[in-house]
Amino acid sequence: MAEFWHKQIERADHLARESSGSMELLTFYAQLLRAQEQIYESLRSRREWLPSGDLESDLPVVQPLTTGLLETVARHGPASLAEEAQVFLASAPDVMARELLDHWRSPTDTQFFAKSILQPYARWLAETGTPPAGRELAGGERSCPFCGGKPQVSFLQSKERNAESGNRDLLCASCLCSWEFRRVVCANCGEERPAKLGYFQSPEFDYVRIEACDSCKHYIKGIDLTRFGHAVPLVDEIYSAPLDLWAREHGYKKIELNLVGV
Protein backbone atom coordinates (compact mmCIF):
# COMPACT_ATOMS: atom_id res chain seq x y z
CA MET A 1 0.00 0.00 0.00
CA ALA A 2 2.36 2.68 -1.23
CA GLU A 3 -0.80 4.79 -1.39
CA PHE A 4 -0.78 5.10 2.39
CA TRP A 5 2.49 7.07 2.33
CA HIS A 6 1.42 9.26 -0.59
CA LYS A 7 -1.70 10.22 1.27
CA GLN A 8 0.21 11.25 4.39
CA ILE A 9 2.84 13.18 2.40
CA GLU A 10 0.28 15.01 0.30
CA ARG A 11 -1.66 16.10 3.36
CA ALA A 12 1.49 17.18 5.22
CA ASP A 13 2.64 19.23 2.20
CA HIS A 14 -0.77 20.82 1.93
CA LEU A 15 -1.01 21.77 5.60
CA ALA A 16 2.61 22.97 5.69
CA ARG A 17 1.68 25.58 3.08
CA GLU A 18 -1.03 27.00 5.31
CA SER A 19 0.42 29.64 7.51
CA SER A 20 -0.30 28.33 10.95
CA GLY A 21 1.60 27.82 14.18
CA SER A 22 2.39 24.25 13.15
CA MET A 23 4.03 25.11 9.82
CA GLU A 24 7.56 24.22 10.88
CA LEU A 25 6.49 20.95 12.44
CA LEU A 26 4.62 19.95 9.29
CA THR A 27 7.42 20.94 6.94
CA PHE A 28 9.75 18.68 8.88
CA TYR A 29 7.15 15.91 9.14
CA ALA A 30 6.61 15.95 5.36
CA GLN A 31 10.33 15.30 4.86
CA LEU A 32 10.35 12.63 7.53
CA LEU A 33 7.41 10.87 5.85
CA ARG A 34 9.35 10.84 2.58
CA ALA A 35 12.30 9.18 4.32
CA GLN A 36 9.93 6.63 5.88
CA GLU A 37 8.35 5.95 2.53
CA GLN A 38 11.78 5.23 1.11
CA ILE A 39 12.46 2.67 3.84
CA TYR A 40 9.10 1.08 3.12
CA GLU A 41 9.71 1.01 -0.65
CA SER A 42 13.16 -0.52 -0.21
CA LEU A 43 11.71 -3.30 1.93
CA ARG A 44 8.81 -3.87 -0.41
CA SER A 45 10.82 -3.95 -3.60
CA ARG A 46 13.60 -6.14 -2.26
CA ARG A 47 13.84 -9.21 -4.46
CA GLU A 48 13.27 -12.64 -3.02
CA TRP A 49 12.98 -11.39 0.50
CA LEU A 50 10.18 -11.30 3.00
CA PRO A 51 10.56 -10.13 6.59
CA SER A 52 10.70 -12.79 9.31
CA GLY A 53 8.96 -10.60 11.90
CA ASP A 54 11.94 -11.01 14.21
CA LEU A 55 13.83 -7.73 13.96
CA GLU A 56 17.08 -9.30 15.06
CA SER A 57 17.15 -11.60 12.01
CA ASP A 58 15.82 -8.85 9.70
CA LEU A 59 18.38 -6.32 10.91
CA PRO A 60 20.92 -6.94 8.11
CA VAL A 61 18.24 -5.70 5.69
CA VAL A 62 16.69 -2.97 7.85
CA GLN A 63 19.79 -1.35 9.26
CA PRO A 64 21.40 -0.14 6.01
CA LEU A 65 18.13 1.70 5.31
CA THR A 66 18.51 3.90 8.37
CA THR A 67 21.14 6.16 6.76
CA GLY A 68 18.69 7.95 4.46
CA LEU A 69 16.36 8.83 7.32
CA LEU A 70 19.23 10.00 9.51
CA GLU A 71 20.47 12.25 6.69
CA THR A 72 16.99 13.69 6.22
CA VAL A 73 16.77 14.56 9.91
CA ALA A 74 20.29 15.98 9.93
CA ARG A 75 19.26 18.25 7.05
CA HIS A 76 15.67 19.19 7.89
CA GLY A 77 15.17 18.40 11.58
CA PRO A 78 15.05 20.79 14.51
CA ALA A 79 18.51 21.53 15.93
CA SER A 80 18.54 18.96 18.74
CA LEU A 81 17.35 16.08 16.53
CA ALA A 82 19.67 17.12 13.70
CA GLU A 83 22.61 16.93 16.09
CA GLU A 84 21.51 13.53 17.34
CA ALA A 85 21.22 12.31 13.75
CA GLN A 86 24.82 13.41 13.10
CA VAL A 87 25.97 11.47 16.14
CA PHE A 88 24.23 8.31 14.90
CA LEU A 89 25.64 8.80 11.41
CA ALA A 90 29.14 9.03 12.85
CA SER A 91 28.81 6.13 15.28
CA ALA A 92 29.49 2.41 14.81
CA PRO A 93 26.61 0.40 13.27
CA ASP A 94 25.98 -1.55 16.47
CA VAL A 95 24.91 1.65 18.26
CA MET A 96 21.90 2.03 15.97
CA ALA A 97 21.33 -1.75 16.01
CA ARG A 98 21.01 -1.66 19.78
CA GLU A 99 18.68 1.34 19.62
CA LEU A 100 16.41 -0.43 17.13
CA LEU A 101 16.31 -3.71 19.05
CA ASP A 102 15.60 -1.95 22.37
CA HIS A 103 12.74 -0.09 20.81
CA TRP A 104 11.38 -3.17 19.11
CA ARG A 105 11.31 -5.14 22.37
CA SER A 106 9.89 -2.34 24.44
CA PRO A 107 8.81 0.75 22.50
CA THR A 108 8.80 4.25 23.96
CA ASP A 109 7.72 7.48 22.34
CA THR A 110 10.97 9.19 23.26
CA GLN A 111 13.17 7.07 20.96
CA PHE A 112 12.51 9.22 17.94
CA PHE A 113 14.89 7.53 15.48
CA ALA A 114 14.00 3.93 16.29
CA LYS A 115 10.29 4.74 16.22
CA SER A 116 10.49 6.49 12.82
CA ILE A 117 12.63 3.75 11.27
CA LEU A 118 10.54 0.88 12.57
CA GLN A 119 7.13 2.27 11.58
CA PRO A 120 7.60 1.42 7.87
CA TYR A 121 9.14 -1.95 8.81
CA ALA A 122 6.20 -2.85 11.07
CA ARG A 123 3.73 -1.65 8.48
CA TRP A 124 5.35 -3.91 5.92
CA LEU A 125 5.03 -6.80 8.40
CA ALA A 126 1.32 -6.03 8.71
CA GLU A 127 0.84 -5.88 4.96
CA THR A 128 2.65 -9.17 4.41
CA GLY A 129 0.78 -10.79 7.32
CA THR A 130 4.03 -11.52 9.17
CA PRO A 131 3.40 -11.57 12.94
CA PRO A 132 6.00 -9.54 14.86
CA ALA A 133 8.22 -11.55 17.18
CA GLY A 134 10.39 -10.67 20.15
CA ARG A 135 8.31 -7.85 21.60
CA GLU A 136 7.47 -7.56 25.28
CA LEU A 137 4.10 -5.88 25.11
CA ALA A 138 1.07 -6.06 27.33
CA GLY A 139 -1.67 -6.77 24.80
CA GLY A 140 -5.39 -6.34 25.47
CA GLU A 141 -7.99 -4.33 23.61
CA ARG A 142 -6.24 -1.03 24.23
CA SER A 143 -3.17 -2.13 22.27
CA CYS A 144 -2.85 -2.86 18.59
CA PRO A 145 -4.13 -6.39 17.90
CA PHE A 146 -1.42 -6.86 15.29
CA CYS A 147 1.75 -5.66 17.00
CA GLY A 148 0.79 -4.68 20.56
CA GLY A 149 1.67 -0.99 20.05
CA LYS A 150 -0.01 1.93 21.79
CA PRO A 151 -2.57 4.14 20.06
CA GLN A 152 -1.20 7.34 18.47
CA VAL A 153 -4.51 8.90 17.49
CA SER A 154 -8.20 8.07 17.51
CA PHE A 155 -10.55 8.76 14.61
CA LEU A 156 -14.23 8.59 13.77
CA GLN A 157 -15.44 7.49 10.37
CA SER A 158 -18.69 6.19 8.90
CA LYS A 159 -18.27 2.61 7.81
CA GLU A 160 -21.87 2.19 6.72
CA ARG A 161 -23.34 4.71 4.42
CA ASN A 162 -26.30 5.54 6.61
CA ALA A 163 -24.52 5.56 9.94
CA GLU A 164 -25.21 8.78 11.78
CA SER A 165 -22.28 9.19 14.08
CA GLY A 166 -19.48 6.93 12.86
CA ASN A 167 -17.25 4.25 14.32
CA ARG A 168 -14.19 4.92 16.39
CA ASP A 169 -10.82 3.46 15.44
CA LEU A 170 -7.41 3.76 17.05
CA LEU A 171 -4.30 4.08 14.91
CA CYS A 172 -1.20 2.24 16.12
CA ALA A 173 1.95 4.24 16.87
CA SER A 174 4.17 1.27 15.97
CA CYS A 175 2.76 -0.25 12.77
CA LEU A 176 0.35 2.54 11.68
CA CYS A 177 -2.54 0.08 11.28
CA SER A 178 -5.84 0.82 12.92
CA TRP A 179 -8.32 -1.17 14.93
CA GLU A 180 -11.91 -0.66 15.96
CA PHE A 181 -12.50 0.58 19.48
CA ARG A 182 -15.54 1.41 21.59
CA ARG A 183 -16.52 5.06 21.48
CA VAL A 184 -16.89 6.10 25.08
CA VAL A 185 -13.90 4.46 26.74
CA CYS A 186 -10.49 5.80 27.76
CA ALA A 187 -7.93 4.36 25.35
CA ASN A 188 -5.35 4.33 28.12
CA CYS A 189 -7.01 2.85 31.22
CA GLY A 190 -10.35 1.57 29.98
CA GLU A 191 -12.47 4.00 32.06
CA GLU A 192 -16.08 3.88 30.86
CA ARG A 193 -17.96 6.21 33.23
CA PRO A 194 -19.02 9.20 31.11
CA ALA A 195 -18.53 11.60 34.05
CA LYS A 196 -14.82 10.75 34.02
CA LEU A 197 -14.35 11.28 30.28
CA GLY A 198 -14.07 14.77 28.83
CA TYR A 199 -13.98 16.06 25.26
CA PHE A 200 -12.46 19.41 24.43
CA GLN A 201 -12.39 21.31 21.17
CA SER A 202 -11.43 24.68 19.83
CA PRO A 203 -13.19 26.50 16.98
CA GLU A 204 -9.87 26.60 15.09
CA PHE A 205 -9.88 22.80 14.67
CA ASP A 206 -13.54 21.90 14.85
CA TYR A 207 -13.01 18.34 13.59
CA VAL A 208 -10.34 17.54 16.20
CA ARG A 209 -10.94 16.94 19.87
CA ILE A 210 -9.00 16.12 22.97
CA GLU A 211 -10.35 12.90 24.46
CA ALA A 212 -9.29 13.16 28.09
CA CYS A 213 -9.74 10.84 31.05
CA ASP A 214 -9.95 12.11 34.61
CA SER A 215 -9.21 8.69 36.10
CA CYS A 216 -5.74 8.20 34.62
CA LYS A 217 -5.17 11.83 33.52
CA HIS A 218 -4.19 10.74 30.00
CA TYR A 219 -5.51 11.91 26.66
CA ILE A 220 -5.46 11.10 22.99
CA LYS A 221 -6.57 13.28 20.10
CA GLY A 222 -9.58 12.29 18.05
CA ILE A 223 -10.03 13.26 14.40
CA ASP A 224 -13.63 13.32 13.22
CA LEU A 225 -13.62 12.26 9.58
CA THR A 226 -17.42 12.40 9.50
CA ARG A 227 -17.11 16.18 9.95
CA PHE A 228 -14.10 16.69 7.72
CA GLY A 229 -13.35 13.88 5.31
CA HIS A 230 -10.16 15.41 3.87
CA ALA A 231 -8.33 15.04 7.16
CA VAL A 232 -5.62 12.39 7.45
CA PRO A 233 -5.51 11.38 11.13
CA LEU A 234 -1.75 11.00 11.57
CA VAL A 235 -1.03 14.36 9.91
CA ASP A 236 -3.96 16.40 11.22
CA GLU A 237 -3.03 15.18 14.67
CA ILE A 238 0.24 17.10 14.27
CA TYR A 239 -1.43 20.08 12.59
CA SER A 240 -3.63 20.56 15.64
CA ALA A 241 -0.62 20.80 17.98
CA PRO A 242 -2.04 23.86 19.81
CA LEU A 243 -4.65 21.55 21.38
CA ASP A 244 -1.85 19.51 22.98
CA LEU A 245 -0.60 22.62 24.67
CA TRP A 246 -4.05 23.14 26.13
CA ALA A 247 -4.23 19.52 27.32
CA ARG A 248 -0.84 19.71 29.01
CA GLU A 249 -1.73 22.97 30.70
CA HIS A 250 -4.76 21.22 32.13
CA GLY A 251 -2.67 18.41 33.58
CA TYR A 252 -3.24 15.67 31.01
CA LYS A 253 -0.46 13.48 29.64
CA LYS A 254 -0.58 12.17 26.10
CA ILE A 255 -0.82 8.39 25.74
CA GLU A 256 1.83 8.47 23.02
CA LEU A 257 3.82 11.47 21.79
CA ASN A 258 3.88 11.85 18.01
CA LEU A 259 7.01 11.93 15.88
CA VAL A 260 7.46 15.66 16.18
CA GLY A 261 7.54 15.25 19.96
CA VAL A 262 4.14 16.84 20.67
CB within 8 A of 17, min separation 6: which ones? none
As measured in angstroms, the least distance from the Cβ of 216 to Zn ion is: 3
As measured in angstroms, the least distance from the Cβ of 143 to Zn ion is: 8
d(CA 4, CA 168): 19
d(CA 59, CA 260): 25
As measured in angstroms, the least distance from the Cβ of 200 to Zn ion is: 15
Rule CB under 5 A: choose which of 62, 147, 185, 234 binds Zn ion: 147
Radius of gyration of the CA atoms of the chain, in A: 18
Rule CB under 5 A: say whether 144 interacts with Zn ion. yes
Stretch that binds Zn ion, among 65-73, 107-115, 137-145, 159-167 (CB under 5 A): 137-145
Rule CB under 5 A: say whether 234 interacts with Zn ion. no
d(CA 170, CA 79): 31
CB-nearer residue toward Zn ion: 82 or 257: 257
Stretch that binds Zn ion, among 20-28, 98-106, 153-161, 211-219 (CB under 5 A): 211-219
Rule CB under 5 A: say whether 107 interacts with Zn ion. no
Rule CB under 5 A: choose which of 58, 169, 191, 237 binds Zn ion: 191
Instruction: Give the footprint of Zn ion on residues 148-177 (CB under 5 A).
Output: 149, 172, 174-175
Instruction: Give the footprint of Zn ion on residues 37-96 (CB under 5 A).
Output: none
As measured in angstroms, the least distance from the Cβ of 99 to Zn ion is: 19
CB-nearer residue toward Zn ion: 32 or 118: 118
As measured in angstroms, the least distance from the Cβ of 255 to Zn ion is: 9
CB-nearer residue toward Zn ion: 227 or 248: 248
Interface ranges with Zn ion (CB under 5 A):
144, 146-147, 149, 172, 174-175, 186, 188-189, 191, 213, 215-216
